[in-house]
Amino acid sequence: MELSGLDPERVEAVLLRYGGAGPRYTSYPTAPAWSASYDARCFAEDLAGLAPGAPLSLYVHVPFCRSLCHFCACNRMITHDPALPERYRAVGQPVVIPGSMGTASYVLAGTDAGLALSFGSTCHGAGRAMSRGAAKRARTGAEVRHELEARGIIVRCPSSGELAEEAPTAYKDVERVVDVVHRAGLARTVARLRPLGVVKG
């Protein structure tokens, strides 16, 4: 199989080496629970519905953490050098927007405009277009594996169910997502990455 000059055995060895199980990001409602119809009015109604004094959790992403925790299962850059973010000011905070197992992922750089527009925050993936259950009902893991391998993508996943729920069709179009992020000025596109292998488990 052609992998743009990369040795397929080396790619597979790397996938096997780093293919251990990891935490899943499930600390907020999945994408199908959100829609464009959920606006400021809905948000205000939800806040007004909270009991006085009830605890409220906020998710705030800190891109340079001093230690790794597994609360949000987010990928973070761990640093003990508080000056590190300063080094990125000229080029912009690195942003990675993954697509799916079968689509591109992108590397972007944050912008000054992004700080004003969204406090320097952007999406951390293409986002799900369907729930895990719906994805499993739509396609089998064997179908997903066959499709990916036919495109030259190495697949290592012991669970057909997990492979089905992560099918590329279960995710939004990452090209459109990145285009919106780029055109909105939240971050500028730097590189498009093509998947060579997938490890799930």
**Residues with catalytic roles:** 124
**How far apart, in whole angstroms, are the C-alpha atoms of residue 190 and residue 69?**
28
Q: Which residues of 25-50 are buried (b: 16+ CB within 10 A; e: fewer)?
A: eeeeeebeeeeeeeeeeeeeeeeeee
Burial state string for 105-129 with b = 16 or more CB within 10 A and e = fewer than 16: bbebbbbeebeeebebbbbebbbbb
Longest Cα–Cα distance in the chain: 61
Please, which residues have CB within 8 angstroms of residue 85's CB and are 6 or more apart in sequence? Answer: 63, 64, 93
Place of tokens 């600390």: 27
Nearest in space to 107 (alpha carbons), one of 84, 83, 91 = 91
Query: Nearest CA to 174 among 121, 101, 110?
Result: 101
Phi-psi bin for 65: left (phi > 0), alpha (psi -120 to 50), beta? beta
User: What is the token pair recorded at 4?
Assistant: 């743009």
